[in-house]
Amino acid sequence: MTQLVPPVAAIADVLALIGRSGWLTPPLQPIVGCSVPIAATARTFRLEMGNEGPGLTPLYEALSIDLTGCCVILDAQRVHGAVWGEILATAAHNCGASGVLICGSVRDKAQVIQIGIPLYAMHEIVVGPAGRAHVQEVGGPITIEASISGTIPDPVSDTIVNNGDLIVCDESGCVAIPPAISNQILDAARRYAEAELETVRSLLRHEPLTVAYLHKKKIVQSIIAELGRP
C-alpha cells in the first residue's frame, strides 16, 4: 500500500530540526491549494525579461507532452507581469502535471480554481509581461534568497530548488526535498505528524500539556539522533 504523503508543515519542521532549508512558503503562497498533500518531481524553467529571445516557446513545448507526476516550477523573479494564468494552467492540467509553483506573479485565480490544478506563487497581478518574458534555461537550479523567504531558523541560507527535487504541496504551502534524502525526510515527517496528533489526542483527554507534549518531544529527539543536527 502506498504510504501517505505527510503534511508540508511536518516536513518543514523536520528539515529545520536537522539544519536544512527547503521550505518555499514564504515567499510562495497558495493561490489554489490542495486539501490533501501531493508529492511530485520538479521540472524547472528560468525566465528573464528582454526585447529579444525565444519567448515562452520552450515552456509551451514542455506543456505539450506528458507531465504526469511532475510539478512545473518557473523562476520569474525578475519578470514584470503575470507569467501564469488560465491558458497555461489549462495546458498543464491537460498534460497531467500535479501542480505549479511560480517564483513570480500570476493571474486568473478564479479560472485556475475552476481548472483545479494546485498553484503557488509570490504575487497576483492583473497585467502580463507584454511579450517580453523569455525562457533562458530549462532544467537549471532556482535560487530563492533567504532575505525573500522571511525569518527562518539559523543557519540562514538561500533555498535552492533543483530539477528533479521532490516537491510537496498542501493547503498550507510547499516544500522542496533533494531526492537523495526524500525517503528519510518523508518517513521522519510521518512520525512527526503522528506525534503531533497524539499530543492533541492527549490534550483532548484533558491530560496536562507537560504530559501530552512528551509524545512530540520523544519523536523530535529520535529524528535528531537519526538524521543529525549541525
Examine residue 3 and state whether it is found in any structural domain, yes or no.
Answer: no
- Per the listing, cell 525579461 goes with 49
Whether residue 14 is found in the same domain as residue 66 = yes
Examine residue 107 and state whether it is found in any structural domain, yes or no.
Answer: yes
Examine residue 133 and state whether it is found in any structural domain, yes or no.
Answer: yes
Whether residue 204 is found in the same domain as residue 98 = no
Whether residue 121 is found in the same domain as residue 192 = no
pLDDT of residue 1: 36
180 DSSP assignment:
G
Count of domains for the chain: 2
Whether residue 189 is found in the same domain as residue 175 = no
> Are 174 and 43 spatial neighbours (Cβ–Cβ below 8 Å)?
no
Q: What is the dihedral of CA 24, 30, 34, 40, to 10 degrees?
A: -30
Question: Which CATH number do you get for residue 160?
Answer: 3.50.30.40
Residue span of the structural domain in which 214 resides: 185-227
Summarize pLDDT for 101-158 with one digit per residue, the tens. 999 999 999 999 999 999 999 999 999 999 999 999 999 999 987 655 454 444 446 7
For 178, the 3-state DSSP assignment is coil
The torsion angles phi and psi of 173, rounded to 5 degrees, stand at: 155, -155
Low-confidence ranges of the chain (pLDDT < 50): 1, 149, 151-156
Whether residue 40 is found in the same domain as residue 132 = yes
